[in-house]
Structure 1
């Protein structure tokens, strides 16, 4: 049995400053630091004592801080991987949200969506974003870990879930999984059928609780 816990980092300075995140290296607010500690405690409840735990994280400051709170409680070192970053928004990063909103070109309802040019210099396409997330998750899942934790970003959660259920990359341009900042999504693969479940999506740490595998 493999269980994967995908953590979206809690409130960061780009949220309260209303600027574009992406690869902009914002850090957790004091409220975000408190939620990161609550996430670590919730994971400690979810994961049985004595279990081997692997921890992976985006290398941006806000995710590193979240991962460090988890690492301190579990006594493990996070593996930092830049492929787990949020989508890059190029020139828009660190600028007011309104700046991006005025320039953003939304994808068409049908047709080419993954390689669509959103109108912002230096921004990643969805295809580029998806390919790096898919590759990072593939490497994590090649490891035999029973309990694995990934600390990432709200947008990148969608691509992690798409990769988890083996959605073809060309279809990932149509999907969006929404989870709040500072939440835990639980994924599980059984040892018999090797089915991949989405057990919970975007649970707040105060609501996370051990689950009965027999259900």
Structure 2
């Protein structure tokens, strides 16, 4: 894969009503919809954007961000369930405060990769595995330039995959990608270097 652009979805209703995200279908807020237009307009200035294949998580807040942005870009959009946010299990549909009060403490000698802080939820390793597997498949299919709309927690996995970080690196690694931000990665052909060109860029949202 030559390049990847990662967009965590824009402001969702759950960002402003105190509810948890995870595998829920909260829609974008009105601000979030305007932010998605800004994302599309910013990406439209990319010199090679027409060469990108666009994919999105199937969860509503990511799907809406992608639909608004790719309409401006005039790109076809494909949906991938594998690109969802982390599953928060029994906290789904609950408030952030409920989530905080019911977080399960880690067991002795339990790694961050395998720790599940909520009953029925996913571990970091499980999120990594499903996202890496789908990206491996797209890479094998010959996708050279990938534009992906996803979620804040999941975004780290896309960056790590492109940089060829092994799963064990995600024991501690995390990349800060605010809502509606643009992260761009490129493969410098001839040098064999995978470059994090820009991380969590929000200048287009101002």
Name the TM-score, length of structure 1 as normaliser.
Answer: 0.87
Query: How many angstroms apart in 1 are the aligned matches of 2:40 and 2:105?
Result: 36
Is the CA contact (8 Å cut-off) linking 2:55 and 2:147 kept in structure 1? yes
Classify 1:87/1:146 alpha carbon distance in 2 versus 1 (closer, same or farther; 3 Å): same
Equivalent residue number for residue 62 of structure 2: 63
TM superposition shift of 1:60? 0.6
Classify 1:65/1:194 alpha carbon distance in 2 versus 1 (closer, same or farther; 3 Å): same
TM superposition shift of 1:162? 1.5
Equivalent residue number for residue 189 of structure 2: 191
Secondary structure of 1:187 counterpart: strand
Query: How many angstroms apart in 2 are the aligned matches of 1:183 and 1:2?
Result: 20
Is the CA contact (8 Å cut-off) linking 1:189 and 1:196 kept in structure 2? yes
1:79 matches 2:51: no
Secondary structure of 2:61 counterpart: helix
Query: How many angstroms apart in 1 are the aligned matches of 2:42 and 2:105?
Result: 37
Equivalent residue number for residue 23 of structure 1: 23
Equivalent residue number for residue 113 of structure 1: 112
Query: How many angstroms apart in 2 are the aligned matches of 1:63 and 1:53?
Result: 18
Is the CA contact (8 Å cut-off) linking 1:23 and 1:93 kept in structure 2? yes
Equivalent residue number for residue 154 of structure 2: 156
Classify 1:70/1:122 alpha carbon distance in 2 versus 1 (closer, same or farther; 3 Å): same
Query: How many angstroms apart in 2 are the aligned matches of 1:46 and 1:112?
Result: 40
Q: CA RMSD in A?
A: 2.2
Query: How many angstroms apart in 2 are the aligned matches of 1:136 and 1:205?
Result: 30
Question: Unpaired runs of 5+ in structure 1?
Answer: 209-215
Equivalent residue number for residue 12 of structure 2: 12
Equivalent residue number for residue 201 of structure 2: 203
Residues 19-75 of structure 1, C-alpha deviations (whole Å, 9 max, x = no match)? 1101111110000000000000100012347x4221011011111111111221222
Classify 1:197/1:109 alpha carbon distance in 2 versus 1 (closer, same or farther; 3 Å): farther
Secondary structure of 2:45 counterpart: helix
Query: How many angstroms apart in 2 are the aligned matches of 1:207 and 1:36?
Result: 9
Query: How many angstroms apart in 2 are the aligned matches of 1:205 and 1:144?
Result: 32
Query: How many angstroms apart in 2 are the aligned matches of 1:38 and 1:183?
Result: 10
Query: How many angstroms apart in 2 are the aligned matches of 1:14 and 1:172?
Result: 26
TM superposition shift of 1:94? 2.0
Query: How many angstroms apart in 1 are the aligned matches of 2:105 and 2:191?
Result: 39
Alignment length (residue pairs): 206
Secondary structure of 1:206 counterpart: helix
Equivalent residue number for residue 45 of structure 1: 45
TM superposition shift of 1:207? 7.4
